[in-house]
Amino acid sequence: MDEWDIARLDRSHQREEFGCGKNPLDEFIRSLLSQYEKRKLGRTYVAVLPGERRVVGYYTLTTSSVPFQNVPPGLSKKLPKHPIPVVLLGRLAVDQTVQGRGLGEVLLMDALARCLELSEEMGIFAVEVLAFDIEAKRFYQKYGFVPLVDNALHLFLPMKTIEGLVF
């Protein structure tokens, strides 16, 4: 099993060669990410091999909310009928050079642990994700993410479930 260093993106990280095979995710980290960081629209965490600076995986977190009517009926019973506060896992991608080595799971667990820590300081009911495609949807569902009612690729994972996954 590989070891990865995961840290908040900084200027020393090399991201120009990143390629996960999905153009919008590649384009984001190569060209758009700096503007998102500068404008505080999201925070990106990157994975590198120890002692290296080349990014081989990343994820982005930002704040969001899910309309009450999009929450599945079984989960909405005791919730107020207004937008539900969540953290949006905006993107998660792994470079093709290291795919199949478990980095996607490592990045997801790191993101969920950060979200759980944040939930101790502020109101967060769940982590939300809009899966890139059906393959990504299956990946998230392995960890308990459930579809929201508005879109089959729109998923979320309640903090109660995350508590069991991360700790």
Give catalytic residue positions: 140
Nearest partner of 105 among 140, 133, 73, 81, judged by Cα: 140
Q: For the sheet containing 151-158, what is the strand order? A: 5-8, 43-48, 57-66, 84-94, 126-130, 151-158, 146-148
Partners of 74 in the β-ladder:
none
Q: Rounded distance, CA 127 to CA 106, Å?
A: 16
Q: Give ∠ CA 81-147-116 in degrees, rounded to 5.
A: 75
The single-letter DSSP state of residue 83 is P
Nearest partner of 133 among 20, 6, 18, 45, judged by Cα: 20
Place of tokens 């944040």: 118
